[in-house]
Amino acid sequence: MKIRFLPGILILLAFSINSCKEKENKSDMNIIFLHHSTGDIIWHGKKLSIFTRAVRKASKDLANLIAKAELPSLFDKYNKETGRNYFIKEMIFPKAVPYGWHNYPYDYYDIWVKHAGNQPYMEEPTLEMLTKNYQVIVFKHCFPVSNIQPDKDSADINSDYKSLANYKLQYTALKDKLREFPDTKFILWTGPALVKSANSEESAVRAREFFTWVKEKWDQPDDNIYLWDFYELETEGGLYLKEEYAASETDSHPNYEFARRVTTLIFNRIIDVIENGGTKTNLKGEKI
């Protein structure tokens, strides 16, 4: 059975890859979304079937032909309605191997600042590489970013220890680096929260302090860096991912009901950043 269907699958795979490349080459606005599992849920905005999940392991492009994800579907609809030609693509960043499944402040600093250049670092693209192909770069952290520990005696920009002091040094260096590419728009998600069972109150308070600092101090007007306030959407003013938005009381991934709602908001925010410099939506992506 598997052998009988293999030629057809290979044909579809080749078609999907060529189609994706053709759209990217013809687009007048290429957008890349760098993410891991939480981002994947928001990208799809719905639960995948068992069959689609199996196909996705072989090819994301082919899986999109079978059941297109919600976020790229919103772009397709917008393009048809407005005559625009925007193309959004996803990328796992960084990959589990060889770099490791880490996308925290230290890791963006490590890959994009410390190891900047025209060659990949541990097979991961630097900003010098990404900005050649994409006019908009959307990136985020995984929810362990909110497990922030007490500061040590001194801050260390080259440490992956999760503390407020280290995060702020790494974010400051990252902001300087992003500003080196004024023709590229960067959209950073404020970090995902953890469910109450997965984080201490002290750590959760530090997480809120950090993301408040990001919004009120780190983010500056009139540059090429924009925010989408995912943290506030998940917590609604609290310290934890709200139970009704979580996959379960012990799982800090968002559920698909929440994803269906906020996928539209990140879409709104990206469009607004492209067309209006982010002035027609608030940080949560709500139209104003």
> Helix H segments across 60-124?
60-66, 70-82, 105-108
Give yes or no for a contact between 164 and 206, defined as CB atoms under 8 angstroms apart. Answer: yes
Q: Domain for residue 180, yes or no? A: yes
Instruction: Give the E-state strand segments of the chain in sequence order.
Output: 29-35, 86-92, 136-139, 185-189, 225-228, 246-248, 251-254
Of the listed ranges 65-69, 90-94, 106-110, 278-282, the least confidently predicted one is 65-69
- Report the domain count for the chain: 1
Q: Domain for residue 10, yes or no? A: no
Give yes or no for a contact between 38 and 191, defined as CB atoms under 8 angstroms apart. Answer: no
Of the listed ranges 49-53, 97-101, 255-259, 270-274, the least confidently predicted one is 49-53
Assess whether pLDDT exceeds 50 at residue 1: no
Rounded Cα distance between 114 and 121, Å, is 10
- Confidence category of residue 6, pLDDT binned at 50, 70, 90: very low
- Confidence category of residue 136, pLDDT binned at 50, 70, 90: very high
Which residues is 187 bridged to in the sheet? 138, 226
Q: What is the pLDDT of residue 171?
A: 98
Q: Domain for residue 231, yes or no? A: yes
Whichever domain contains 251, its CATH number is: 3.40.50.1110
Give yes or no for a contact between 178 and 186, defined as CB atoms under 8 angstroms apart. Answer: yes
Burial class (CB in 10 A: 0-12, 13-18, 19+), 206: buried
Model confidence over 212-235: pLDDT tens digits? 999 999 999 999 999 999 999 999
Q: Domain for residue 121, yes or no? A: no
Give yes or no for a contact between 152 and 163, defined as CB atoms under 8 angstroms apart. Answer: yes
- Confidence category of residue 27, pLDDT binned at 50, 70, 90: confident
Rounded Cα distance between 6 and 55, Å, is 12
Q: Domain for residue 217, yes or no? A: yes
pLDDT > 90 fraction of the chain, expressed in percent and rounded:
82
Q: How many Cβ atoms sit within 10 Å of the Cβ of residue 176?
A: 10
Q: Domain for residue 188, yes or no? A: yes
| Interval 171-181 mean pLDDT | 98
| Interval 200-206 mean pLDDT | 98
**Residues with Cβ < 8 Å from 250, sequence gap 6 or more?**
195, 197, 198
The backbone torsions φ and ψ at residue 254, rounded to the nearest 5 degrees and listed phi first, read: -70, 155
Q: Domain for residue 282, yes or no? A: no
Rounded Cα distance between 154 and 34, Å, is 31
Q: What is the pLDDT of residue 46?
A: 77
Rounded Cα distance between 64 and 41, Å, is 14
Q: Domain for residue 15, yes or no? A: no
Domain coverage including residue 178: 23-107+133-276
